[in-house]
Amino acid sequence: MSLLRAHDALLLDLDGTVWEGGRAIDGAVDTINAADLPSVYITNNAMRAPHVVAEKLQAIGLNAADTDVVTAAQAAIDLAAEHLQPGDPVYVVGTPSFKELAAAAGYRVVDTADENPKAVLQGLDPEANWAVLSEAALAIRNGASYVASNLDTTLPDPRGLLVGNGSMVAAVVSATGVTPVSAGKPQGAMFVTAAQRVGAQAPLTVGDRLDTDIEGANAAGMPSLHVLTGVSGHIALLEAPKEQRPTYIAEDMRALNEDPAILRPGAQGGFTARVDGNDILLERGYPESTSIEALRTVLEVAWSMKRPADLIRPISEDAARVVANWW
């Protein structure tokens, strides 16, 4: 039985999992379309409205509606509702779509701290400058509650990792001494909301980032597949704290069609791993053995150790060959 057949819905991250900079990641579209399961797209990117995200998904060949998209901007507005009444003024650091969502929720979006906003909602906005962040800081110092859509410090892009919302939030935190509550991943609420939308009882989360996608899935009590197509690579997996460890590990989403037993940490590909001091020795393997097989072999040992291994030491030709590709 494939991993897909063990679940009734897919909860999918976007950046680094389904696409990168709007370009579909190899194997993602075909796998999702062939899955014949409800798919909900969960993104910490608060820059785009759900219908815009759905249109972009359609453009790369996926059958997605705006109701299939859960954004961190939506989650931030839901979280802020705990402190607000309809008609309350709010200051939004974010794109026009974020401000439109806040207005649609019944709040009065203001442009200055002088209008005494009850809350500051902050999402990633490429146009946000010193003046915008300063108004947010003034409002927070005047008593406004502070909600961030997410705290991702970076944003994957074909050119590399760009500055994320968490890095912009850090400037406001530095100026105010106030840490925001975060609505997006790794909070479990977004995952629960996504599963409820499609009535899923056994959803699987798929993501590329341990500190958001995988930690969020664990917080929601859901199994997860980590794919090596985005932010968190082999080394991050080896050093991952318990709350950031995925159930399954794969190169990309095509692994959804594989046996789940193979995708779990454990010896495979002819490799063996053992502890030597605080190092892990990776031995044996075959000429056809792969990097991901070696990684799963080492992870079983690494995650049983009290602290992260100091070194992964390949002591066979095949082990050295595959470890050379780890990042």
Known catalytic membership, residue 15 = yes
Give me 273's structure tokens: 């791993």
Please name the residue ranges forming H helices in 60-107. 72-80, 96-104
Cα separation of the two ends of the chain: 31
Strand-pairing partners, residue 69, are 41
Catalytic residue, chosen from 8, 13, 78, 276, is: 13
Give me 252's structure tokens: 């990309």
- Shortest CA distance to 231 belongs to which of 31, 32, 82, 44? 44
44, 183 Cβ separation under 8 angstroms: no
Give me 45's structure tokens: 């990117």
Rg (C-alpha) for the chain, rounded Å, is: 21
Catalytic residue, chosen from 8, 15, 78, 88, is: 15
Cα of 276 vs its chain's centroid, Å: 34
- Shortest CA distance to 155 belongs to which of 98, 70, 67, 72? 72
Beta-carbon contacts of residue 162 (< 8 Å; ≥ 6 apart): 154, 155, 156
State which H helix or E strand residue 112 sits in. none
Q: For residue 226, give the 3-state DSSP assignment.
A: strand
136, 93 Cβ separation under 8 angstroms: yes
Instruction: Give the max Cα distance, the chain.
Output: 68
Please give the positions annotated as active site.
13, 15
